[in-house]
Structure 1
Amino acid sequence: MSGSVTLAYDYPLFGVFWTTFWLFMWILWFFLLFRVIGDIFRDDQLNGWLKTGWIIFVIVLPFLGVFLYVLARGRGMGRREASRAQAQQEAFDAYVRRTAAKDAPRTTQADELTKLSQLRERGDISEEEFQRAKGKVLH
């Protein structure tokens, strides 16, 4: 072998930190790139031509494109993400309410009247309260 071999114990500690730093920055860069591309596609305020222009700019000149996008539209990225998360939460809550309402036991008028008459017999409600509640159940 004519080339030198670098062994693990020959790699200085500062070199490990430096390599780790650049690896972290590389991963962070791709995270930011994909966040920007996702934001471009999800933004309802941009028309198709503007989306195409931003995507081409981000792909052809990635560093400049991403940094200019963050400078120009970065403030709205957080608002759009927050509103999207809120819309998802509201949709989930509505789904849970619909599902819970379907599984809730159904009571009929006869069941309600039976409960009311039991309350009246035990003396928990008066005759006047019974008649008023009965009218609400029947209407």
Structure 2
Amino acid sequence: MTEVQKSQSEYTKTRDIGVFISKDPSTKFITDTTPKLSLECTVTDYSMTSPEGEEIDVSTLSSRTKETISGLPAEPTVSMNVNFVIANDGQKALRESYESGNNYAFKIQHEDGSSVDWIARVTNFEFKGEKNGILTGSFAFKVKGSFVFNEPTPAN
């Protein structure tokens, strides 16, 4: 008889997360002492993408098939959908990044202590009035460098 192995899906909870932006333009990640603004109550969902970089053809006359190596990776992107709040300080900083082209530090802090850090500038944003009377919107970012994934905090 074959032994059946029970397995459970692993996941990171998205409930009770914090989404933060540095208060001022920055090229350094958010730390405990960094002045920051919260976006967690306005963000409805987000997407982070690390696109494929350029492929470099290294085929030679003796190659049997095309041979390639990876070139520089493309700039990662982030998009965020929000309940748009004109007076929210975090969203003001996002709009300032768009106007100035300045980079800001960002952090998504999960309940288990894991986090994702990145430096980015806002490349576009939109907002629209919905039929339910809620102003919604989105922001798109170009990441400088790459995402930094931090492990969960060990339980004591």
Return the TM-score normalized by structure 2: 0.21
Which of the two has higher C-alpha Rg? Answer: 1
- Specify which structure has the bigger relative contact order, considering alpha-carbon pairs within 8 angstroms and separated by 6 or more residues: 2
Between Structure 1 and Structure 2, the one with more helix by share is 1
Between Structure 1 and Structure 2, the one with more strand by share is 2
Return the TM-score normalized by structure 1: 0.22
